[in-house]
Every structure is written in structure tokens, then in C-alpha cells.
């Protein structure tokens, strides 16, 4: 009986350790909010040009775990995106939709313009993947600017 208890305890320890290890590389909602506020502070302290360089750096402080911060203006222009920098080459992204036909960038702009901060859900590929996953992104308007930043989490196994 003692060996059975020991085996069960060992299995439980291994299961909890594996679950904790799996979560090490997954961003949290709290981290997204914190990183967005840090990026907004950077914009206000260092200026837009310097912030675009730092936020757009794929090896910079605004890329962590499976998430990143992006920067846009209220006209729907992507100013910095560390994972898909080609998005910055477009005049605006307002006509772009996800696979469910959701105009995600319109939603981003509306949240930033009307409320100043909030969450938007949509479908978007994880970094390094091409298949879209459900993503929930925090949008935060930079105080005193016509700009906003966003960062999101991928919600595994959930579709809408």
C-alpha cells in the first residue's frame, strides 16, 4: 500500500510539474496589460521614433513568451509590429479581417478611440504559425496621443 501511495504521489508531482513547465512559455492577460502600459510610457518618455524602433524589435523587451506589443495610430496604420513588420508597409489595416470576417483592426481603433482601453477577441496565427488561433488582445490608448498599443494571449482549444 505504501508503494502505491508513493507511486501516486510521484505521478501527481510529475503532472503538476509538467503543467507548470508548459505554462512558462504562455503569456498572461496581466502581462499584456503591464507591457502595454510600459510601451505607452516609453512612447511618452522617448518619443515616437525611438519607441517604434524598440517596439518593432523582434528581440526587444516587448516580445516575450508567445506574445508581443504592437503600435498603431487611430487611423488604423500599423507603426510597429515585431513579428509581422510587413504590416507597417500598408496605408492602414482597417479593411483586413480575420477568417471569421471580423474587422479586428476596426475594433482595435474603436476601443482605443471610444473607451481608451479594453479587450478584443479574434482569430490570428501564433508567431511562427500560419493557422489562426483564438486570440484576446488588450488595447491601450497612449495618454495624450492619437496612438494605441496592443498585446494579446492565445486561448488554446477555444473557438468562436
What confidence tens digit (pLDDT) does each residue in 91-109 have? 999 999 999 999 999 999 9
pLDDT of residue 2: 62
- Return the CATH number at 82: 3.30.450.20
The answer to whether position 18 is within a domain reads no
The answer to whether position 92 is within a domain reads yes
Alpha carbon distance 123, 38 (integer Å)? 25
For the chain, percent of residues with pLDDT exceeding 90:
78
The answer to whether position 54 is within a domain reads yes
Q: Which residue has the cell 500599423?
A: 78
Alpha carbon distance 57, 150 (integer Å)? 15
What confidence tens digit (pLDDT) does each residue in 6-26 have? 544 444 333 443 343 344 699
Contact 51, 43 (CB under 8 A): yes
Contact 122, 102 (CB under 8 A): yes
CA–CA distance from 148 to each of 31, 60, 117, 136 (Å)?
17, 18, 9, 16
For the chain, percent of residues with pLDDT exceeding 70:
82
E strands, 65-159, are 67-73, 78-80, 117-125, 132-141, 147-154
What confidence tens digit (pLDDT) does each residue in 108-146 have? 999 999 999 999 999 999 888 999 999 999 999 999 999
Segments forming the whole domain that contains residue 121: 25-154
DSSP tally for the chain: helices H, then strands E: 4, 6
The total number of structural domains that make up the chain:
1
The answer to whether position 124 is within a domain reads yes
Amino acid at each position: 500500500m505504501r508503494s502505491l501511495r508513493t507511486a501516486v504521489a510521484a505521478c501527481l508531482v510529475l503532472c503538476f510539474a509538467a503543467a507548470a513547465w508548459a505554462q512558462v512559455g504562455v503569456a498572461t492577460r496581466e502581462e499584456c496589460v503591464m507591457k502595454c502600459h510600459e510601451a505607452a510610457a516609453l512612447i511618452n518618455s522617448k518619443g515616437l521614433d525611438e519607441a517604434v524602433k524598440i517596439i518593432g524589435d523582434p528581440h526587444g523587451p516587448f516580445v516575450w513568451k508567445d506574445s508581443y506589443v504592437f503600435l498603431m495610430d487611430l487611423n488604423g496604420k500599423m507603426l510597429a509590429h515585431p513579428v509581422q513588420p510587413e504590416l507597417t508597409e500598408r496605408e492602414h489595416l482597417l479593411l483586413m479581417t480575420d477568417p471569421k470576417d471580423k474587422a479586428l483592426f476596426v475594433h482595435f481603433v474603436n476601443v482605443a478611440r471610444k473607451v481608451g482601453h479594453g479587450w478584443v477577441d479574434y482569430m490570428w496565427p501564433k508567431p511562427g504559425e500560419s493557422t489562426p488561433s483564438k486570440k484576446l488582445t488588450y488595447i491601450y490608448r497612449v495618454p495624450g496621443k492619437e496612438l494605441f498599443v496592443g498585446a494579446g494571449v492565445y486561448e488554446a482549444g477555444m473557438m468562436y
